[in-house]
């Protein structure tokens, strides 16, 4: 069940995360004061995160210059809060300082943002962020001994450089998440640098929080993409579905109050306002624990813990038990004679309450499925309330809900059958080929990442009793990665249609896509069969990555190839590599085995090898 816990953690973490570096004060201390002090004490990290996410190309030295300016600003305001600059939003002050750095706006091409003010400026910097980070240099790698020596010599600079590198490669991850990662990295360095087997220690301890960062990055991009593409209403619906399942005994009125706190922080977190984001997160946690008796019976011990521990405790807590008096269905929405009148009086609140009631009764459903049901209900009422006899029209609503879930369930069952029949590797190749055919405009790195993530989602979920919700939630996150966070992202007409038309139903939309008919393959480049000398030294993981790239680029060059032909080419590629890497002269073997005349069979070796 550990993997299922992780799935629930990913879905719920967005609402409850707290930095592990928050002060460890008892629960009765004023959280607002604690948060304010935390922000003041962490101005260096906060500045690094914001700058590195906004201007990803900036050097560490340039980041340090801004850190110096923001520390001076903090000290001036702590000394005299009546200064005019101290009444400004912290994020606006930060952007002003970025724009004031001599030559920087021109150097990194963001002068146009600096000519704007207030909201328009913040939005411009947000759109300047790049999700695809292939333009950045490879992450610097240090020998563990060298890493530990650097850490011990200048701990502050070492940690600052680490959070700078992580932040600019994850421009849409929320600041509290990155601060958590930084805290865990510091703990890891402290521990592993005292070990004899430093490399093994770093390797074993790094994996969990790499997965933590990866999972949170995916979910946060997905949710912020929903906000930016579809507006606050869809985000409100996601919140209602998630919280109603987690806390089924919460009253609707209490839920709407909690949603106000949650909603107030989204613009900051999704827009990159790190201070606003941290304050919003802290406020949500305080709200939940201050009302725990009416929210959940599972979090009492969590809320008695100190601030760093209580967040993770609540995240990993089980969904609360459904109230004993909760009926199988809420008659108010399908059996009442006055449904249309109640809807017309306050449509937004009425539909929100329906989603709340349906979600708390169906813990087995995924968040996207609950949104689909809500959409079906809204469409049904739109039709029924214009009919002669509305009650006769909407009395079969439950049947329509079940039909919707059955369709989604069949998709998941088909995917899990693929997993059982094909196994991990062949399933991944299936998704690599399919994704490349429907979205060949994406980069090879993006496509290999997405294909691997789809395979991982099914490998994680298809053996669980909660298979449906797990698969549907995680596969939807992968589609969120594909669609991207920015509203103006464009891939091709059919993919764009699925990404932008209906958030809840994009899974079924993608199911119906075929190969992009507008795509014109690029001609093979010169030197197609050039082989790097280190190919035979590649470890299994690196060789697997090359095979994945081979398949993606083969599909890009020859999208008409069937899966059988692609599988045959992949097997041939593997056989050639094995044979030639065992030969005395690998390069001569490659030249003999893969001459230019065999281009039809092994078209894109060049791409595989780089």
Spell out the residues 6+ positions from residue 127 whose beta carbon is closer than 8 angstroms to its own.
486, 488
pLDDT at 69 over 70: yes
pLDDT at 29 over 60: no
What pLDDT is attached to residue 515? 93
378-385 contacts at long range (C-beta below 8 A, 24 or more positions apart): 378/351, 381/339, 381/340, 381/343, 384/339, 384/340, 385/339, 385/340, 385/343, 385/344
Q: How is 452-497 classified by DSSP, letter by letter?
A: HHHHHHHHHHTTSTTHHHHHHHHHHHHHHHHH-SSTT----HHHHH
Q: How many CB atoms lie within 10 A of CB 116?
A: 15
> From CA 266, how far away is CA 236, in angstroms rounded?
10
- Residue 291 DSSP SS3: coil
What pLDDT is attached to residue 602? 45
> From CA 107, how far away is CA 542, in angstroms rounded?
35
What pLDDT is attached to residue 567? 82
Question: What integer is the mean pLDDT of 182-204?
Answer: 90
> From CA 335, how far away is CA 396, in angstroms rounded?
9
Spell out the residues 6+ positions from residue 402 whose beta carbon is closer than 8 angstroms to its own.
none
- DSSP H helical ranges for 42-143: 43-54, 60-79, 90-100, 104-107, 111-114, 118-127
Among 552, 529, 549, residue whose Cα is nearest residue 541: 549
> From CA 469, how far away is CA 365, in angstroms rounded?
5
pLDDT at 414 over 80: yes
Q: What is the DSSP letter of 539?
A: -
Question: Could you check whether 327-519 and 533-606 share the same CATH topology?
Answer: yes
Q: How many residues does the chain have?
A: 610
pLDDT at 163 over 50: yes
**Best CATH choice for the domain 26-55+57-128 from the list 3.20.20.140, 1.10.246.10, 1.25.40.10, 3.40.50.300:** 1.10.246.10
Spell out the residues 6+ positions from residue 556 whose beta carbon is closer than 8 angstroms to its own.
436, 440, 444, 521, 522, 604
pLDDT digits (tens, 9 = 90+) for 369-408: 999 999 999 999 999 999 999 999 999 999 999 999 999 9
> From CA 245, how far away is CA 263, in angstroms rounded?
18
For 112-116, 126-130, 456-460, 476-480, which range has the lowest pLDDT when averaged over its residues? 126-130
Among 189, 185, 172, 320, residue whose Cα is nearest residue 245: 320
- Residue 610 DSSP SS3: coil
In the block, which residue shows the tokens 């090898």? 609
Q: Counting Cβ atoms within 10 Å, is residue 576 exposed (0-12), middle (13-18) or buried (19+)?
A: middle
Q: pLDDT tier at 525 (50, 70, 90 boundaries)?
A: low
> From CA 56, how far away is CA 284, in angstroms rounded?
30
User: Hey, where are the domains in the chain?
Assistant: 26-55+57-128, 327-519, 533-606
Q: Is the distance from CB of 248 to CB of 319 less than 8 angstroms?
A: yes
In the block, which residue shows the tokens 């941290």? 278
> From CA 538, how far away is CA 550, in angstroms rounded?
15
pLDDT digits (tens, 9 = 90+) for 545-579: 888 888 898 899 888 888 888 888 878 877 888 88
Among 389, 366, 383, residue whose Cα is nearest residue 474: 366
Q: pLDDT tier at 532 (50, 70, 90 boundaries)?
A: low
Among 41, 303, 318, 49, residue whose Cα is nearest residue 167: 49
Among 22, 39, 28, residue whose Cα is nearest residue 311: 22
Q: Counting Cβ atoms within 10 Å, is residue 578 exposed (0-12), middle (13-18) or buried (19+)?
A: exposed
In the block, which residue shows the tokens 């004060």? 25
> From CA 299, how far away is CA 288, in angstroms rounded?
9
> From CA 22, how far away is CA 26, in angstroms rounded?
12
533-606 belongs to which CATH class? mainly alpha
pLDDT digits (tens, 9 = 90+) for 41-55: 788 999 999 999 999
Spell out the residues 6+ positions from residue 156 whose beta carbon is closer than 8 angstroms to its own.
none
pLDDT digits (tens, 9 = 90+) for 436-445: 999 999 999 9
Q: pLDDT tier at 531 (50, 70, 90 boundaries)?
A: low
Among 11, 10, 3, 12, residue whose Cα is nearest residue 314: 12
Q: How is 524-536 classified by DSSP, letter by letter?
A: PPSSTT---TTGG
CATH number of the domain located at residue range(s) 327-519 in this protein: 1.10.246.10
What pLDDT is attached to residue 530? 52
Q: How many CB atoms lie within 10 A of CB 107?
A: 14
In the block, which residue shows the tokens 């060789």? 543
> From CA 296, how far away is CA 23, in angstroms rounded?
25
């Amino acid at each position: 069940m550990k993997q299922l816990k992780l799935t629930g953690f990913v879905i719920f973490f967005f609402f409850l995360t707290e930095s592990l570096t928050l002060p460890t004060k008892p629960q009765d201390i004023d959280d607002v004061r604690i948060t304010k002090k935390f922000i003041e004490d962490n101005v260096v990290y906060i500045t690094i995160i914001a700058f590195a996410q906004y201007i990803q190309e900036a050097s560490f030295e340039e980041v340090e210059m801004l850190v110096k300016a923001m520390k001076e600003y903090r000290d001036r305001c702590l000394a005299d809060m009546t200064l005019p600059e101290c009444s400004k939003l912290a994020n606006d002050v930060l952007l002003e300082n970025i724009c004031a750095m001599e030559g920087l706006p021109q150097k990194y091409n963001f002068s146009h943002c600096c000519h704007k003010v207030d909201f328009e400026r913040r939005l411009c910097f947000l759109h300047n962020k790049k999700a695809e980070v292939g333009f950045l240099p490879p992450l610097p790698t240090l020998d563990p001994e060298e890493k530990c020596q650097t850490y011990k010599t200048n701990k502050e600079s070492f940690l600052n450089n680490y959070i700078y590198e992580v932040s600019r490669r994850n421009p849409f991850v929320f600041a509290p998440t990155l601060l958590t990662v930084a805290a865990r990295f510091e703990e890891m360095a402290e521990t592993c640098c005292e070990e004899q087997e430093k490399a093994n220690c770093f390797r074993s301890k790094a994996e969990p929080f790499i997965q933590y960062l990866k999972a949170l990055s995916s979910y946060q991009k997905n949710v912020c993409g929903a906000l930016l593409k579809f507006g606050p209403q869809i985000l409100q619906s996601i919140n209602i579905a998630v919280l109603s399942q987690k806390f089924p005994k919460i009253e609707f009125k209490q839920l709407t109050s909690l949603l106000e706190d949650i909603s107030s922080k989204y613009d900051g977190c999704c827009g990159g306002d790190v201070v606003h984001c941290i304050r919003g997160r802290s406020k949500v946690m305080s709200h939940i624990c201050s009302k725990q008796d009416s929210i959940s019976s599972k979090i009492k011990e969590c809320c008695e813990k100190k601030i760093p521990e209580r967040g993770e405790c609540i995240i990993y807590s089980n969904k609360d038990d459904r109230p004993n008096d909760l009926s199988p269905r809420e008659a108010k929405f399908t059996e009442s004679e006055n449904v249309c009148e109640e809807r017309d009086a306050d449509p937004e609140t009425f539909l929100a309450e329906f989603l709340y009631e349906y979600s708390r009764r169906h813990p087995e459903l995924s968040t996207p499925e609950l949104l689909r049901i809500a959409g079906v209900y809204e469409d049904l009422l739109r039709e029924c309330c214009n009919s002669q006899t509305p009650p006769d029209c909407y009395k079969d609503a439950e049947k329509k809900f079940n039909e919707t879930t059955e369709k989604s369930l069949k998709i998941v069952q088909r995917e899990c059958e693929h997993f059982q029949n094909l196994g991990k590797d062949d399933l991944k190749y299936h998704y690599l080929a399919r994704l490349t055919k429907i979205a060949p405009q994406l980069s090879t790195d993006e496509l290999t990442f997405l294909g691997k993530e789809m395979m991982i989602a099914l490998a994680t979920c298809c053996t669980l009793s909660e298979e449906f919700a797990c698969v549907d939630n995680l596969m939807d996150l992968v589609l969120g990665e594909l669609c991207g966070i920015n509203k103006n992202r464009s891939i091709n007409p059919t993919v764009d249609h699925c990404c932008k038309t209906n958030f809840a139903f994009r899974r079924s939309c993608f199911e119906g896509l075929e190969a992009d008919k507008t795509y014109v393959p690029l001609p093979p480049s010169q030197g197609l069969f050039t082989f790097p000398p280190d190919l035979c030294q590649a470890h299994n993981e690196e060789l697997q990555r090359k095979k994945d790239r081979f398949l993606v680029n083969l599909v890009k060059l020859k999208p008409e190839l069937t899966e059988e032909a692609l599988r045959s080419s992949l097997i041939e590629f593997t056989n050639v590599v094995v044979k030639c890497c065992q030969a005395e002269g690998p390069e001569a073997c490659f030249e003999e085995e893969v001459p230019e005349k065999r281009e039809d069979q092994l078209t894109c070796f060049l791409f595989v090898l780089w």
